[in-house]
A = this chain, B = another copy of it.
Amino acid sequence: MSEMIFHLTCPDQRGIIAQFTQLLFQHHVNVLSLEQHVEPDESLFFMRTHADLRNMTISSDTLIDLLNKIEHKLSGNLTIHDPLKPLNMAILCTKEQAHVNDLLMKHQSGELNCNIPLVISNHDNLRNAVEQYGIEYHHLPVSAENRKSQEEEISSLLENQNIDIVVLARYMQILSPKIVQQYKGRVINIHHAFLPAFKGDRPYQKAWVRGVKMIGATAHYVTEDLDEGPIIEQDVESVTHQYSVKEMIQAGRDIERRVLTAAVKAHLQHRILLHGQRTLIFHS
């Protein structure tokens, strides 16, 4: 490992940063960036550190052992990521092209640090758009009868490809509880409304009826509670009474894809720390 990102959550106390940075300094590890946050009401400390190990005088395993010792001493929770090892990402979608396309295009241009071994859809219309990038396209239509078996097929595909993160790019099916459980904190969904307003289906229709003056989109981690998972990114755009529902959908599509792509990017850069129903989005 020549670079390392580690996330720490622990009770707030004196000397947290000092102990970690001292350890790194001693062993010739260079801190590339360090960002911390304290939740004062809960007395909780959060930190993300990005370190360069290239001149390190000990082995990675030894470093990890030493980091874990501090973690225990601080009663903390430490997770370690290798920023140079791209995550494996699966995209699940339906007929909607814009969101998938944005992810694939930005992946190709080097903006998203990941592998995308496969796209799964319950429709076949995006096959060409996906395969032109040399990515496998799996058409798995879902009906009441085959739901169980298709869900298992999806599970197998994700496992066989060692998928780290699942992106629901307007996948209109509900994921099986098994997958939600297995990929906890690693499934990102785009909801086409400014949550918590307009949960559930047909949000633009509801927004139109309610006469809102802005429409929005929300990218969030998927949990068992539909549309209640931790919010990662949100954005809105102004609309007027002149917008029909169809025009709201068109305008919303642009917001959705940029919100989804931004959320995926933050996840791939290991910039998101989960804290209950809240996310901390670090910038370093």
Contact = CB atoms under 8 A, between A and B. Distances in A.
A66 to B, nearest CB: 14
A254 B284 CA distance: 21
Interface residues of A, number: 68
Contacts of A84: none
Interface stretch (A23-31, A150-158, A184-192): A23-31
A41 to B, nearest CB: 9
A210 B194 contact: no
A169 to B, nearest CB: 14
A32 B14 CA distance: 9
Interface string A1-38: 00000000000001111110110110011111111111
A233 B239 CA distance: 10
Given A19-B25, A25-B19, A230 B211 contact: yes
Contact of A196 (B19, B32, B197): B197
Interface in A58-97: 97
B254 A231 contact: no
Contact of A236 (B214, B278, B280): B214
B279 A211 contact: yes
A109 B125 CA distance: 12
A283 B238 CA distance: 14
Centre residue among A14, A33, A129, A216 by max chain B CB count within 10 A: A14
Contacts of A258: 254
A20 B123 CA distance: 50
A37 B34 CA distance: 9
Contacts of A108: 97
B214 A235 contact: yes
Interface string A166-209: 00000000000000000000000000001111100000000001
Interface string A231-273: 1111110101110100000100010001000000000000000
B28 A18 contact: no
Contacts of A211: 230-231, 277-279
Given A19-B25, A213-B281, 16 more contacts: A17-B34, A18-B22, A33-B36, A37-B241, A40-B244, A98-B105, A101-B105, A128-B132, A194-B214, A196-B197, A197-B197, A211-B231, A211-B279, A241-B275, A242-B284, A254-B258
6 contacts: A14-B28, A14-B30, A195-B197, A211-B230, A211-B278, A211-B279
